[in-house]
Each structure stands twice: as C-alpha cells, then as structure tokens.
Amino acid sequence: MRQPPPPNVTLGTLAPHIPAELYRQAGGRPFVIVQTTPTPERTARSYAGPVFIGLAIALGLMGTIAAALALFEFAIRTAAVVGSLSGPIGVGLSLKLFHSKK
C-alpha cells in the first residue's frame, strides 16, 4: 500500500524505476543511477544563420530609413531656403509690376 505524502511537502523528481532483480543484487549496497541528458535536436550553430540574416535585414532597413529621412530633411531645408529667398524677391517684383504709375 502506498503512503500518502506528508502535508505541506512537495515531492521532488522521483528516481527512475529500478527493476527488482537489480535491487536484490545490490544487497543493500548503495548504487548510483547515471542519467545522460538527451542531445539537443538543433545546435547553437543552426540558430546562428537565421539570426544573422534577420540582423542583416534589420540593419539594412534601418539604413534605408535613415537615408530616406536624410533625403526628406534635405528637401525640406531646400524648400525652406527657396521659400525664404523667393519671399523678398516676390514682394519686390510685385511692387515693381503692380506699382501704380501716376
């Protein structure tokens, strides 16, 4: 009959099953059970390729966005310079053209 676990105690990882014949052969002597960890299905090297490809794509996109922003900034500054220069010129031409001649 199996005994219930004591209250407020969590059971740890249980040992693997030991066949009765091996237990009898041990004759009360201590023995060690060695469990090997399973080999991973994928190594770290197999993850390196996709990670490097993703990083290259991310850096490429960041470079493209930085170039587009630099181009937009240049266009905005050029438009601002042209707008600031055309203001006085436009006013001068308007006064000259539309000045009433008495």
Question: Where does the pLDDT of residue 44 fall: very low under 50, low under 70, confident under 90, or very high at 90 and above?
Answer: confident
Give the position of tokens 């990083």: 55
Q: Which residues contact 16 (CB under 8 A, 6 or more apart)?
A: 33, 35
pLDDT at 6: 65
pTM, two decimals, is 0.48
pLDDT above 70 for 34? yes
Residue 91 tokens read as 């006013």
Residues 49-91 have pLDDT tens digits of: 999 999 999 999 999 999 999 999 999 999 888 877 777 677 7
pLDDT at 12: 59
